[in-house]
A and B are shown apart, each in its own frame.
Chain A
Amino acid sequence: MATRLEARGLTVELPTRAGWVRPVNEVSFALGDGETLGIVGESGSGKTMLALALMGLEPPGARLTGEAWLSPRGVNGNGNGNAASPPATGENLLTASRKVMWGLRGGEIAMVFQEPMTALNPVVRIGAQIEEAIRVHEPRLARDEVRRRALEALERAAVPEPAHRARQYPHQLSGGLRQRAMIAMALAAGPRVLIADEPTTALDVTVQKQILELLVSLRRELQLSLLFITHDFGVVAQIADRVAVMYAGRVVEEGPASEVLRHPRHPYTIGLLRAAPRIAREKLVAIPGTVPPLDALPAGCAFGPRCAQHVPECDAAMPELIHAADATESHRARCILVR
């Protein structure tokens, strides 16, 4: 599988009164063609800031370092993909000019947000909003053709009665339909990478199930690469091939989703899984304390103060991502206790 999007040491720094803080700290990952990578973390872990940086939508004043290579269209899938090497003539999303990003956003890499009601323009009809997303990339397209493609996009997102819905405003749609309209808009200009930031968190479970099924089928149909951001390991189990767990800006564990979920190595991942309520009514074990503020991170491992396995060496330095002797090589955790 060829790599479509590869981040290397991606770091986002924000200025605060107390100095620079790093909501995203040296994050590296590779997202293959048609692959789904789940990014799991709690609030403040940096998962949304990571997505915004990839989209070129980081807040003003932010400082980006590292690399995020998007492979060029057409050269992938020819069998010589090597996950270790960056795409030869790709685009580094972190250094691309505003003009280049203007073309890539929507055309190559698109994003779906958590709350479709705030992401959609409340005073513009659904159809017109999707048409706008198409026209940005193909300004010379005939009006009828733009309209046809917008309806096609709604149909692809399984919006019933697309012609009727296109004439409605966001508030006239249910939460589930609004999210389908958002997905239609994100995919209207044919991107190859879709970032979905908690796309089902605001929805009822029965609707969530439908949206997840839709994303799975769209991914297959369009060979999409999906970066799926969530706080819910249950959702990860349903949709992700691989998973990266983030804590205080860093990836603390990564690997194949089934392996990370069944045999988590990092104490934070283990703790999160034990703290997640399940219908099976197993006894919950909470993680004590809270996520540390970015301007007051502890020395060494950021999870140290909340960790039940904490030993003095944990405070010495931030551990590297290492893989356990009995784990797959791609399954790695940032903990000195991993052997």
Chain B
Amino acid sequence: MAGDSLLEVRDLRKSYAVAPRAIHQAEGDPPAATAEFVGVDGVTFSLAPGETLGIVGESGCGKTTLARMLLRLIEPDSGEMRFRGQDWRGARGADLRALRRRIQMVFQDPIASLNARMRVGAIVGEPLAIHEPGLSRADRHARAAQMLEAVGLGSEALDRFPHEFSGGQRQRIGIARALILRPELVVADEPVSALDVSVGAQIIELLDRLRRELSLTLILISHSLPVVAQLATRVSVMQAGRFVESGAADQVLQSPQHPYTQALIAAVPEIPA
């Protein structure tokens, strides 16, 4: 198993110290001691190339903390992460940079995650400027144009600013930036939850198409089981920092075993068929 997996995650943990603050105290509350908030509490999984893992959970369950650790945007307290057998958690310097380009992220909010003062061509081409500094400006521009085409935006988008685009188009720009380095693994954190239903469906279709065309491995993080259900081959349900249920998507969605998964599914307001 370890040999052919793309990403191996073992017993990943992250906790935060919570300082007592008077403002959080109501009259009559007992005095609070310094508490430890466990964000991610021992997550283990392994992901084979081409799989799409859906991680679903409600706010505060630790799914975004987990995503950021998988990207090495924040450091875990303990645990192991291996990418194609290489130590990803402990990678430093040139090793870290080389691995970074193979693992990219799509963010939830396409307004906050795009620099409002940069033109779209520069935003999408920036990862190339960092990871392929030898590339000429013209080549970078051409690659950015090609990538924008692939996500369904014309090359006329290159010279415009993010605010000139709708939410769905901005999310396409975010996806183009994430994919321009041809990563092997993409982590998408709530990629459609800021979008309207009809536009969200376009983004789901786009991710599905790009996943096939570029043979991507995808980790899709969402609070929405129906969204995860559209793309995931495997589903993990997260509660209070742990995976409480993991399995093949059909199995988890159709015959959930854990009471929390059952409660989540029961709470989804379903449209009558």
Contact = CB atoms under 8 A, between A and B. Distances in A.
Nearest to B28: A164
Nearest to B193: A201
Given A237-B270, A277-B224, A290 B166 contact: yes
A76 interface: no
B73 interface: no
Interface in A301-316: none
10 contacts: A171-B23, A205-B267, A206-B58, A208-B267, A234-B268, A237-B272, A238-B269, A272-B198, A276-B197, A279-B229
Contact of B201 (A212, A258, A277, A281): A277
Interface string B165-183: 0101100000000000000
- Report, as a range, how many residues of chain A touch the other chain: 35 or more
B153 interface: no
Nearest to B228: A277
A233 B253 CA distance: 20
A287 B269 contact: no
Interface string B49-77: 00000000011000000000000000000
Given A205-B223, A274-B201, A279-B226, 18 more contacts: A164-B28, A167-B26, A204-B59, A205-B264, A205-B269, A206-B267, A209-B267, A235-B269, A237-B272, A262-B272, A277-B204, A279-B225, A279-B268, A280-B229, A281-B230, A281-B249, A286-B199, A287-B202
- Report, as a range, how many residues of chain B touch the other chain: 35 or more
Given A275-B200, A279-B253, A233 B271 contact: yes
Contacts of B202: 286-288
User: Interface majority SS on B: helix, strand, loop or mixed?
Assistant: helix
B267 A278 contact: no
B198 A275 contact: yes
A261 interface: yes
B269 A232 contact: yes
Interface of B: 23-24, 26-28, 58-59, 166, 168-169, 196-202, 204-205, 223-227, 229-230, 249-250, 253, 263-273
A284 B199 CA distance: 11
Contacts of B28: 164, 167
